[in-house]
Structures are given as structure tokens and as C-alpha cells.
Amino acid sequence: MRYCQRVMQKRQIEVVMSKQASTDGNRRSGERSVLFAEMIKGERQGQIVARNDEQRKVLVEGSFISENFGHLQVEAGCTRELADAVTTAPIKPRVILTILLSGEVHFAYDGSEHVLKVNPQRQSRNTTAQAIAVNLRRMTVFRRHIRRGERHLCKVQLMFSPDWLRRGEAGDPLRRRLEQHLLGRHLATLAWQPDEDILALCAALLELRHEPDRLRRSLRAENLAHQVLWGFLQHIEQLPLQVTESVCTPRPLDPTARAIAWLEANLDQPLSVETVARATAMSSSALQRRFRRDTGLTVFEYVRSRRLEKVRDVLRQEDMSVSEAAFLAGYNHTSNFITAFRRQFGVTPGELEPTRLD
């Protein structure tokens, strides 16, 4: 069964939004509440909304393209941000190349902060885009700041497995440069200034948001993405090659990131706080305190949410009874499962729309 094979599709995002101070002065400014968000895709437009907010507040809206080719995933879009929020989610090991064409974006991987900024009003030949590649060698906690008023944020992201780039001879100069400058250590970062040819390719990728034919869109996106990636590799070919390989000491994994990585690998197992704490070399109290501080959730709020997300993905793609889904999500009673499912996604399992494969 796909769920048991650990096929994850992380469309749900945990969102931590700052509350405004109440007029009666009983709450301090800066107090935080936890919201959940989800991507809602229309025919040509999309939104990220606060899922467990009664008003289902829209955080981000815009138009997007998302294509997954197995070895390479492409996401591109132009959006405007409607709220101040911080999103956080676990990300599997991969290399992420982000190319910002306009706007400003703040994000972090395991606490390593990055800011990309392009001002369309002050663009010069050398500042028409900014790009950065980050290598994630293990499960990583991703955070991004959503900033109210950011009205024209356009970016292209390519995500791919490091092993996909490691094909060929170990002594090949390009492969050695990749290892030295990007693939050799966790959170290695490589900045890049795309030239006009790459910018034209990115613009063409963004135009595919308006392509109604799925086949044309997919084929064209794959072709353009490979050309962009080749341009990035040509940049790496110009970087200096060290005569002797340096030995990098990996950065210790953040305790919360370590806990999330262990939980993601064991979601289909019986879990207790003591088990998670023991596996991540923390006391139960330290685990719960750190986890709540960094994610806004308790350990088991996180586990429950992730299990429901995975079961929801299975229900969208497979013919499964509600009782089977409840069992996979860890519920002994179907009624409790349906209640939790409705609370998290706004619909019952029977009302869930299947994933379109056309």
C-alpha cells in the first residue's frame, strides 16, 4: 500500500502567525498561534489559505506551475502575499535551486537564513535576478516568512536528488567541483547570478502557467528546466577546483529537526513521547519543550496531522474504505477519525475529491 511504502506528498504546511495584541491588554504583542495552511488550486490560479481558521484566511494568492519528473521537480509562480506569517515544514534530502525574478523572499533551512531580493524599479543588468542553491543532505526543517504587501513575487525552483548529479566518473572535474562547492556537506550554499539566456528560460517557464494543455505544459517545462539546470552546471564548471579534497565536519542536526526526521521515518509505527525522546537523545521534557517552541505543536499534534495528511493522499488516489483509512491513521474508532479529518481538512473522507491525473 502506498502509505505503508512511505510515499509523502507534503501539500500541507504548518503556519505560525503573529497575533495582534488584544485591546484589553491581557495578551502580549508577539504572542503566537498555530494555524495550518493548504494549497487550493483552481483552473489557472491558486491560493494558500489558513486551514483551521474559521474564515479560512487567504495568506498567499497567485498563479503557479508544478511538475514532477521523478529526478527533477519544477515549481514556478508569481504571487502576492496577504498576511504576515511564518510557514514551516520538513523537507526530504535534495538540492533546491531557487531563482528569484522579482520581489523579496526570506527563508531558512535548519536555521540557516537566506534572503533574496530583486527590485523591479531598480533593476540593472547585474541585478535582474538572484539565485541560490542549497544542499539538504538529511531531513531538514524549512521556514519561510510570508510578508503582507509583497505584491509581485516571481520565482522558479528546481529540486533534484544529489545522486542524480553524481552519475559518471568520480574523477570528472565537474563532479569534483559539485562535491567541493555544493554536494559535499549539509546546508552547503552556492550563489549564482543567472545571465540573460537563463532569465529568458525562466520567463518561458512562468508563461507555462497559462498553458491549458497538460501534455504541452509538462513537456515544455521539463525541457526548459533542464536548460536552466545546464546553465547552473556551466557556472559550477567555472569555479576553482581544489587540488586536495577538504574534509568538512557536518553541522550537528538541530534537536527539533532530528526529532522531525525520526518521526517522518516512523509515522507508521506505534509512538510515545518516551520513544521519540530516547531515539533523539533528549529527555521527554526537553523534547516537548523544544518541539512546541520551534513548531508551535506538541509531538503528537504533529504526528496526528502528518498521519491524516498521508491517509488523505491515499484516499485521493486509491479505493479505500473509511474504516481502513481510520486504521492506517491510527484511530480505533471510525467516528473519531471522521471528526479529526473534518477538523483538519474541512471535509469528511467521503467528501474528499480525488486527485486529477489528466
Mean pLDDT for all residues in the chain: 78
1.10.1370.30, 3.30.1950.10, 1.10.10.60, 3.30.1330.120: which CATH number matches 255-351?
Answer: 1.10.10.60
Cα–Cα distance for residue pair 353/358, rounded to 1 Å:
14
The average pLDDT across 135-164 equals: 86
Class of domain 66-237: mainly beta
CB-facing half-sphere around the CA of 123: CA atoms within 13 A = 13
Q: Is it the case that residue 142 has pLDDT exceeding 70? A: yes
Q: How many helices (H) and strands (E) does the chain have?
A: 10, 12
Q: Please state whether 201 falls in left (phi above 0), alpha (psi between -120 and 50) or beta.
A: alpha
Residues of the chain with CATH 2.60.120.280: 66-237
Q: Is it the case that residue 16 has pLDDT exceeding 80? A: no
Task: Please tell me which residue, 32 or 69, carries the higher pLDDT value.
Answer: 69
User: 231-249: string of b/e by CB count within 10 Å (b at 16+)?
Assistant: bbeebbeeeeeeeeeeeee
Task: Please tell me which residue, 205 or 53, carries the higher pLDDT value.
Answer: 205
Q: Is it the case that residue 243 has pLDDT exceeding 60? A: yes
State how far Cα 251 lies from the chain centre. Answer: 21
Q: Is it the case that residue 202 has pLDDT exceeding 90? A: yes
Cα–Cα distance for residue pair 213/42, rounded to 1 Å:
15
The average pLDDT across 318-336 equals: 84
Q: What is the pLDDT of residue 225?
A: 96
Q: What is the pLDDT of residue 55?
A: 64
Cα–Cα distance for residue pair 36/306, rounded to 1 Å:
12
Residues of the chain with CATH 1.10.10.60: 255-351
**What's the grid cell of residue 196?**
540573460
**What's the grid cell of residue 18?**
503573529
Q: Is it the case that residue 139 has pLDDT exceeding 80? A: no
Residue 58: phi and psi, rounded to 5, are -80, 125
